[in-house]
Amino acid sequence: MTRISKAFQNKKAFIAFVTGGDPDIETTEALIPQMAAAGADLIEIGIPFSDPIAEGVVIQAADERALKAGVTTDKLFDMVKRVRGTVDVPLVFMTYMNPVYTYGTDRFVKRCAECGIDGIIVPDVPFEEKEEISGACVASGIELISMIAPTSNERIEMIAGQAKGFLYCVSSLGVTGIRSSITTNIKEMIDHVKKVSDIPCAVGFGIATPQQAQEMAAVSDGAIVGSAIVKLIAQNGRNCIEPVCQYVREMKAAVVSASCV
Amino acid sequence: MEAKKGKYGLYGGQYIPETLVPAVQEVEQAYDAYKKDPAFQSELRQLMENYAGRPSLLYYAEKMTKDLGGAKIYLKREDLNHTGSHKINNVLGQVLLAKKMGKKRVIAETGAGQHGVATATAAALMGLECEIFMGKEDTDRQVLNCYRMELLGAKVHPVTSGTMTLKDAVNETMREWASRMEDTLYVLGSVMGPHPFPMIVRDFQKIIGQEIKEQLMQMEGRLPDAVIACVGGGSNAMGSFYEFIPDTSVRLIGCEAAGLGVDNPKNAATIANGSIGIFHGMKSLFCQDEYGQIAPVYSISAGLDYPGIGPEHARLNELGRAQYVPVTDAEAVEAFEYLSRTEGIIPAIESAHAVAYAKKAAPEFDKNQILVVTISGRGDKDVAAIARYRGVEIFD
């Protein structure tokens, strides 16, 4: 069983996102094991990109901070390798296709495997273009995470049928970022998936409060939170570890409580 | 040029978030249907003739020809179109398509403001809402065009993310489209982005080359020896080149913005300095660093200040069918002034890049050879910036 499957085994998962190298590599390196200890079942590490078209302003700003601080893909690989020596939590890279392609797709995915990365999410590679990277992922045992969106409708079966690891269910139209309410019928989306696949479904985009996390986890297999964590990092800089972990504990508790509903 | 749907050799494709895939596929299906619809084509032709003022002139630049002492030079006068540039060709097509698709609202990116002005114009004409995304740096250097868009009823959003120029305007327009596509079409301004946009924009712009061929046949009874156009994303160049791709005797020359020089970091010469990447929905050539971070490019011309190039240009370059040459700010400004003085035509600073190369190349051709230079737009919008470049402060 892969680390990603274990994260969803007999439980709902709380998935935490951080932008790698924001505000610096050392802080990210310290955050990852601490977030795992605080209850994060899977951690997504964003490789910053100059032009992140699927991100809202909070993660855009984090990408800018990290790049300004001199973070590179190689520095993140090295950091992940060190962290993997101390934690068993599944680690997933989230980035755009250009940093992967430019690094050399095969070389990039091989390095992911060497450093202990479990999966990769590439939001600008939809189902129709996934051959760009899927072959390399299969060869190296890296799970390529697929996404479905509120607009996917009849595409859901096709995407879910070939999805690996877990299915990232985008809760809302638009970009990542904190939302006061989520209006998409998530249950209907997930039911659609479950008709064709038993792949775990985690909901992301817009989730910030424990109540939202609980509601989303209640109808799915987990909740993904990015911007709300990144905002805490922006506010607290290098002193972010305690506030982030406190937040992770609250969100994890909310997700766990959804299992009992 | 398309081997497989939306691919130009290995270039092109549809690299966009899942949220946008159905919207892009909807455009693809609608365009496939309307492309073959005689009523749509006839309505578009009417608009091109009675509204945009097509065909545009093919003008024999006699003074320039004599002055340079080489090839005979013709100027394709896209600057004479309504709204002052070639952008109107594409926009009339896409906004008409939006209307037929039942959309109520169009959104677009703009660099110099020409595509924004054209989109706002077509939206006003066809009764659609219009919102334009423009880098803050460009709203500052193209104040007149901003106000022009507002006069036309559009809302202009200055984009303050990233480098605050054209690429950031594209990012922001994509983000906006992902949040609202039900009633909205993204009217892309160049032969770039995800399929089907490079194809649609080329199809709506190829009238430039078709007219060049027909007009030159009437005037000279022959094909040109070279067609020269400026390239940012590459829509006026693709429009000028496309008809001539099978005519291998015709050299196709794209002029890229080299800013302060191809060896200076401040340039936007994608073919000269770029490498293959995947960005803004397409696999193509981009100015980027070793880790695939998109470079903050620079040109005096806001319309060429883009770190990529359309995928079909990348393919033409790879095949050697078209050739791409860098032209610096200094050369473009000199050509801007030269064409104004010599022919009484003030070209857009973008188009001045093509004029600059033609000036250099013309003497190398025989007197019986013919160069066609596409003047993609008029230069009124650039007068204040050129004055500043020359150290004259005027307020526009």
Query: Which pTM was predicted?
Result: 0.96
CATH of domain B7-48+87-201: 3.40.50.1100
pLDDT band at A86 (very low <50, low <70, confident <90, very high): very high
User: Which candidate from B18, B174, B291 shows the least CB-CB separation from A53?
Assistant: B174
Please compute the mean of the pLDDT values over residues A30-50 and round it to a whole number: 98
Is B182 catalytic? The answer is no
Per-residue pLDDT at B184: 98
Q: Between chains, do B15 and A124 touch, taking CB under 8 Å as contact?
A: yes
Cβ-Cβ contacts under 8 Å, B29 against chain A: none
User: Is B7-48+87-201's fold the same as B53-84+206-389's?
Assistant: yes
Could you tell me the pLDDT band of residue B395, with boundaries at 50, 70 and 90?
low
| Fold topology of B53-84+206-389 | Rossmann fold (3.40.50)
Arithmetic mean of pLDDT over chain B = 96
Judged against a pLDDT cut of 70, whether residue A242 lies above it is answered with yes
- H helices of chain A, where? 3-7, 25-37, 57-68, 73-84, 97-103, 105-115, 134-140, 156-161, 186-196, 210-218, 227-236, 241-259
Domain boundaries, chain B: 7-48+87-201, 53-84+206-389
Q: How much of chain A exceeds pLDDT 90, in percent?
A: 97
Residue spans per domain, chain A? 13-144+208-259
Tens-digit pLDDT profile for residues A24-34: 999 999 999 99
What are B94-135's pLDDT values in tens digits? 999 999 999 999 999 998 899 999 999 999 999 999 999 999
- For B138-177, how does the pLDDT look when each residue is reduced to its tens digit (9 = 90+)? 998 788 889 999 999 999 999 999 889 999 999 999 999 9
Q: Do the chains contact at B291 and A175, CB–CB below 8 Å?
A: no
CATH 3.20.20.70, applies to A13-144+208-259: yes
Query: Please, are residues A100 and B281 in contact by the beta-carbon 8 Å criterion?
Result: no
b/e per residue B170-192 (b: at least 16 CB within 10 A): bbbbbbbbbeebeebbbbbbbbb
- C-beta atoms of B178 and A103 within 8 A: no
**What span, in angstroms and rounded, lies between the C-alpha atoms of B161 and B172?**
8
The catalytic position among B76, B87, B103, B213 is B87
Predicted local confidence at residue B393, as pLDDT:
83
ipTM: 0.97
C-alpha dihedral, B353 to A102 to B6 to B314, nearest 10°: 30
